[in-house]
Amino acid sequence: MKIFLIGYMGCGKSTKAKQLAHRLNCPVIDLDAEIVAKTGKTIAEYFAEFGESGFRDYESEMLKTFDYPEHCVIATGGGLPCFFDNMDWMNANGETVYLEMEPAALVSRLHNRQKRPLIKDLDDDQLLEFIKVKLQERAPFYTKAKIIVDAFDLDGEKLEQAIKSEG
Ligand SMILES: Nc1ncnc2c1ncn2[C@@H]1O[C@H](COP(=O)(O)OP(=O)(O)O)[C@@H](O)[C@H]1O
Ligand SMILES: O=C(O)C1=C[C@@H](OP(=O)(O)O)[C@@H](O)[C@H](O)C1
Ligand SMILES: [Mg+2]
């Protein structure tokens, strides 16, 4: 089974994907890291060179053409489910899990903003406002996930349980 973790920047997709894959004894794939490995550019450099729309094209192509092992956990980028038919594609090709988190909690997780071009120039107050607006836009996509879990106090074990009981 392919398990796609989705949710806003900072909700813990990359961190929890590693923990879950370790528990399930299967490979982990972080699509942002795959983009960096394939292009030789950081996400920030890719945005700077090709703009957000160039990045969205590339991440969608990466999502749909990656040679996934049969069983794996996939950390997606926060915006990926909200463009093209990516969310429907993931639902058709695996288990989708939305790691849901409140805007204030997301701010407290997003210390290292330089890696994330959409928020790199925002202070904490601006970031809170930005997330509130963006999360409203993105929620209709995220909530199409087959499984929704509260990501605030989540660890690999709780995530595994949530997938087993709801999946
Ligand atoms: N359970 C947790 N408690 C506190 N901080 C966490 C926890 N899980 C992840 N983090 C931190 O939150 C930040 C965002 O996590 P990350 O996995 O990169 O999120 P995403 O891939 O969803 O953007 C990282 O700095 C990470 O160390
Ligand atoms: O939410 C977004 O639009 C983005 C999230 C990032 O991934 P993380 O959610 O892992 O930070 C990365 O794909 C890019 O900076 C854009
Ligand atoms: Mg990530």
Residue-wise pLDDT for 12-56, tens only, equals 999 999 999 999 999 999 999 999 999 999 999 999 999 999 999
Q: Does a structural domain hold residue 53? A: yes
Question: In which order are the strands placed within the sheet that holds 28-30?
Answer: 28-30, 72-75, 2-6, 95-100, 147-150
Say which CATH number the domain at 16 has. 3.40.50.300
Kindly report the average pLDDT of the chain as a whole number: 97
What's the total number of domains in the chain? 1
- State the complex-level ipTM: 0.97
Q: Does a structural domain hold residue 34? A: yes
Q: For a pocket test of ligand 2, which of 76, 116, 121, 138 has the largest count of ligand atoms closer than 8 A to its C-beta?
A: 116
Q: Does a structural domain hold residue 167? A: no
Give, using CA atoms, the residue closest to atom 9 of ligand 1: 12
Q: Band the pLDDT of 80: cuts 50, 70, 90.
A: very high
What residue has token string 């990045």? 55
pLDDT at 167 over 70: no
Q: Does a structural domain hold residue 139? A: yes
Q: Does a structural domain hold residue 35? A: yes
For the Cβ of 116 lying below 6 angstroms from any atom of ligand 1, the answer is no
Q: Does a structural domain hold residue 85? A: yes
Q: Does a structural domain hold residue 43? A: yes
List the domain range (segments joined by +) for residue 51. 2-162
CA 152 to CA 154: how far, in whole Å? 6
Q: Does a structural domain hold residue 66? A: yes
